[in-house]
Structure 1
Amino acid sequence: MTDQVHGTPRRGLVAATLGFFVGFAGVVLYGPVAAEFQGPMGLSGLLLGLLVAAPQLTGSLLRIPFGAWVEDVGAKRPFLILLGLSIVGMGGLSVLLLTAYPDGLTMRHFPVVFVFGALSGCGIATFSVGIAQTSYWYPTDQQGTVLAVYAGLGNSSPAIFTLLVPLALASFGLTGAYLGWFAFLVLGTIGYAILAVDAPYFQFTKRGIGRSRAKRRASERGQELFPNGNAAASLRDAASVSRTWVLVALFFTSFGGFLALTVWLPSYWTAVHGVGIQRAGVLTALAFTLLAAAIRIPGGIASDRIGGERTAIASFVAVAVAASVLVLTREFVPALAATVLLGAGMGVANAAVFQLVPTYVPEAVGGASGLVGGLGAFGGFVVPPVLGVFVDLHGTAGYATGFVVFLVLALASVGLSSALYRTQPAPELAVTEPSSADD
């Protein structure tokens, strides 16, 4: 029947979260076992930073076109293409390790390892696709909470893999660990394909129903946010809103910083505090990555209740304080406490920023999600090589002094969040009544 809607908002959220969880694990493709590549390949601090950040290159930039593409076709097809590219990258890396690791892996393999890492990172770009999918399933007044649930649970996969990869390395070797990861990626993609359902509007348009009638029928079934139906127009509309670019800058600090530290902290703990690779993975996962992911849920609830702007200000102040401590201290306990505060601040800030996306850009959620999620997450690719330069210049001490980068970013973000708070307008209505005429 043309009026039947398959699935429910909860199923849409569960499917998006599963797909994002599977793809987002690619963030830590190289970070937890960086030493396994750095030694045989003879990498400098700069090249090590580039390698561990390789998945973030595609994982950030592809969010822009794929997030906007949701406006045309819904989320399921973009999701599956991104996960399929990740499978290609992980499969290629597994074959390379089977044939070249450990004795045959040298600096000449760096471009190939980088490219396979970038392909494996395509699944990270599912973030903006899932943001749009979730936003279109749920009403406006629940956006902060459901987006925080989606992002918080999905963001937990890097923490889990930061814990598991060193353990798998010890038990099965580097090649065995990546083969297991490849199997997980394939099975997770199949699971998403079975479970995923697009929001009602896209179900109606795929049946040949015109956009105006599809909006009206979807609105009758509770959908409040709608795409404008054109990916290029969605990007253009989002880019024309000045606050979109403020949100990009804030997300560069919070989520780009989160990605950068997820892959960099294991090296920090090993170099500065002399802990082993497995313990470094545990510290990174529990004190930072998992915490930052889990706290997005209460962060989203707080953003709904007191406003995303005020929540962002408080969280970026926490990031600035934590970064200051990490720059100054070489003691383990203060560094661990500062890392916990840093993870909490970034996690809450991530939730606050995306609570504001449908508020400020309701007419182009897909395009705005792509721009904010893509350009903001690009910090995950930019920052690790910068941190590597600190190491090249200052040796081991550079792992600590490099945190000045996050101090500067956090202070700038406090200023931008404060400007949003001072100038926040009365939000426009997200949806107008759809016309009764068909397109």
Structure 2
Amino acid sequence: MAALDNVTQGQQRQALGMSTLAFTVCFAVWTIFSIIGVRIKAELGLSETQFGLLVATPVLTGSISRIFLGILAEKYGGRIMFPIQMVTTAVAAFLLSMASTYPMFLIAALGVGLAGGSFIIGIAYVSRWYDARSQGTALGIFGVGNMGAAVTNFGAPFLVVAFGWQQTAQIYAGALLLMAAIYWLFTKDDPVLVEQRRTGAKSPSALMQLEPLKNPQVWRFATYYFFVFGAFVALASWLPRYYVGAYDLDLQTAGMLAAAYSLPASIFRALGGWMSDKWGARFVMYLTFLVSLVCLFILSYPETRYIVSGIDGPIEFSFGIGVPLFAVLTIGLGFVMSLGKAAVYKHIPVYYPHHVGAVGGLVGMIGGLGGFILPISFGIMNDLTGVWTSCFMLMFLIVLVSTVWMHVAIRRMERRKYPQLADETHLSDVPDGPLAAPGTH
């Protein structure tokens, strides 16, 4: 790219570092209801379904906004869009502290949800500072900002206990305003935008940016992201409530254990980007889905008592997952989710280098919708079944369908690329030719 000819590594690191920090702050605000929502639930006497809707509402705005924020970031640059988005969200977070009824909380949550739109702004901005060979690693590092969920799960419970949930929301609003100012002062316009201004080239229209969305491949990437990101957001918001309800833990302990899940689900995204650059995104996606299936199968199993008719009479035993094993499995699940998130976004700047904002916005929107739909589904399933592990049963089905679809799509792609293999149906791994008879060469 000619625009990158005069870009130094120092400029790249500064753009990446400031964007990652801003995204971390925004993500912390985006998941604030995972903690303050537990207090609000107790104050208003909400059902599990109502709590799920409250936790999920910010994710809805953050998801839908990614489409137009991605397009605006492509057109005007991330340096101006990031501060505007943060200031707007700060206002909503401050107004949240004044809410007193359930409808008011839902409206305020819609405004706070704009924090989630920061992701696509950062993707569009950071990707313009790196070439295709390094974008996977760079975007993986940027995605470490997901650790904002761990920041909230770990720190917000102590703020709520010390100051109350209203003041916690105000502290978050102040942090956003401060971050907006820092970002504006310590970043520069991306090299692509600078080159467009120098040459007088016009940015592509919104209609042109949306052109790739007709490609089914884009929607397949989006369904992968529905799990690796959407389920991550859903669990980050749901786990504090799960620990409190299923294991009768206090809010601080529940928050720290939820943070233990959120942290590896965030910081290892950089590793996922590096692995995608080195071994390919397909390998990373297979690894993510297969390990997730194992973890979710175990997590789905509810505490159960068995009575077996033995030789000498009934034999009774039980099976259940204690807190230590549950925490280990969720941390492992979060780890592979972080790899998968990076792998999905490795594809986008490679396949659609001129439509990162629009394509990335759609993929991010669908993924974010997972973070909206799943907490509500978790609450509904709890109310209907009365089984805490029903949320993991649902996610197991989602991953199973995604794994099968991905494998079928890859096999079809291989047959299109190598049509001579289409008729080879006798063996799953076709050799170059039959093995020679003994004694022959």
Q: TM-score range by the shorter chain?
A: 0.7 to 0.9
**CA distance change for structure 1 residues 420 and 298 in 2, over 3 Å: closer, same or farther?**
farther
Partners of 1:75 and 1:387 lie apart in 2 by: 35
* Map of 2:370 onto structure 1: 379
Q: State the Cα distance separating 1:417 from its structure 2 match.
A: 3.0
Counterparts in 2 of 1:243 and 1:4: CA distance versus 1, 3 Å: closer
User: Hey, what does 1:183 align to over in structure 2?
Assistant: 174
Comparing 80-89 with 276-285, greater Cα deviation is found at 80-89
SS at structure 2 position matched to 1:196 = coil
Write the letter of the residue equivalent to 1:387: F
Question: Displacement of 1:416 after TM fit?
Answer: 3.1
1:300 to 259, 270, 273: 273
1:50 and 2:53 equivalent? yes
Amino acid paired to 1:210: G
Unaligned runs of 5+ in 2: 303-319, 418-441
Asked if 1:289 corresponds to 2:281, the answer is: no
Give the match for residue 327 of structure 2. 336
Partner of 1:231: 206
Q: Is the 8 A contact 2:77 2:189 kept in 1?
A: yes
For 1:393, give the aligned amino acid.
Answer: L
- Whole-angstrom distance in 2 between the partners of 1:412 and 1:81: 39
- Any residues of structure 2 matched to 1:7-18 within 5 Å, and which? 8-18=11-21
1:136 to 128, 136, 145: 128
1:314-357 residue CA offsets vs partner (Å, 9 max, x unmatched) = 10111111111111044223322221121112111101111111
Tell me which amino acid in the other structure corresponds to 2:60: L
Question: How far is the alpha carbon of 1:145 from its aligned partner?
Answer: 0.5
How does 1:256-275 map onto structure 2 within 5 Å?
A: 256-275=230-249
The percent identity for this pair of structures is: 30
Alpha-carbon distance change, 298 to 5 in structure 1, aligned in 2, over 3 angstroms: closer
CA contact (8 A) 1:241 1:361 kept: no
Q: TM-score, normalised to structure 2's length?
A: 0.85
**Whole-Å separation in 2 of the counterparts to 1:198 and 1:229:** 18
Aligned equivalents of 1:201 and 1:360: distance in 2?
A: 18
Aligned ranges 1:197-276 → 2 under 5 Å: 197-206=188-197, 209-211=199-201, 229-235=204-210, 237-276=211-250
| RMSD over equivalenced CA pairs, Å | 2.1
User: In the TM superposition, what are the counterparts of 1:27-106 in structure 2 within 5 Å?
Assistant: 27-96=30-99, 105=100
Question: How far is 1:369 from its partner?
Answer: 0.7
CA contact (8 A) 2:29 2:172 kept: no
1:157 equivalenced with 2:131 (yes/no):
no
Residues 376-413 of structure 1: CA deviation (Å, up to 9, x unaligned): 21110111000001111123x2x212211110111122
Q: Contact 1:72 / 1:229 at 8 angstroms: preserved in 2?
A: yes
Structure-1 residue corresponding to 2:289 = 316
In 2, the alpha carbon distance for the partners of 1:404 and 1:370 equals: 29
Count of aligned positions: 393
CA displacement, residues 411-439 of structure 1 (integer Å, 9 cap, x when unaligned): 1221233245442799xxxxxxxxxxxxx
CA–CA separation in structure 2 for the residues paired with 1:39 and 1:260: 20
Q: Is the 8 A contact 1:327 1:400 kept in 2?
A: yes
Tell me how far apart the structure 1 counterparts of residues 153 and 59 of structure 2 sit (CA, whole Å): 16
Task: Please say if residues 291 and 343 of structure 1, whose CA atoms lie closer than 8 Å, have aligned partners that are also in contact.
Answer: yes
Post-superposition offset of 1:201? 2.0
Alignment of 1:115 with 2:107, yes or no, is yes
Gaps of 5+ in 1: 97-104, 213-227, 427-439
Match of 1:351 in 2: 342
Query: Is the alpha carbon distance of 1:230 and 1:182 closer, same or farther for their aligned partners in structure 2, counting shifts above 3 Å?
Result: same
SS of corresponding position for 1:362:
coil
2:30 touches 2:115 (CA, 8 Å); kept in 1?
no
Distance 1:145 1:166 in 2: 33
Residue type of the alignment partner of 2:34: G
Change (3 A) 1:4 1:356: closer
The 1-side partners of 2:409 and 2:206 are apart by 27
Distance 2:325 2:341 in 1: 24
Q: Report the Cα distance in structure 1 between the residues aligned to 2:94 and 2:115, rounded to whole angstroms.
A: 14
Q: 2:161 aligns with which of 163, 170, 182?
A: 170
Whether the aligned pair in 2 keeps the contact of 1:27 and 1:263 (CA below 8 Å) is no
Give distance in 2, aligned partners of 1:135 and 1:160.
25
The SS at the match of 1:197 is coil
Which has the higher mean CA deviation after the structures are superposed, 252-261 or 25-34?
Answer: 25-34
Q: What is the TM-score with the length of structure 1 in the denominator? A: 0.85
* Whole-angstrom distance in 2 between the partners of 1:245 and 1:355: 15
Paired amino acid for 1:339: T
Counterpart in the other structure of 2:428: none
What is the CA-CA distance between 1:275 and the residue it aligns to? 1.1
For 1:183 and 1:340, how far apart are their aligned partners in 2? 31
Distance 1:15 1:211 in 2: 27
- Give the distance between the partners of 2:165 and 2:399, measured in 1 at CA: 36
| Aligned 8 A contact 1:23 1:83 in 2 | yes
Shift of 1:13: 1.1
Asked if residue 408 in structure 1 is aligned to residue 411 in structure 2, the reply is no
Q: Is the 8 A contact 1:243 1:360 kept in 2?
A: no
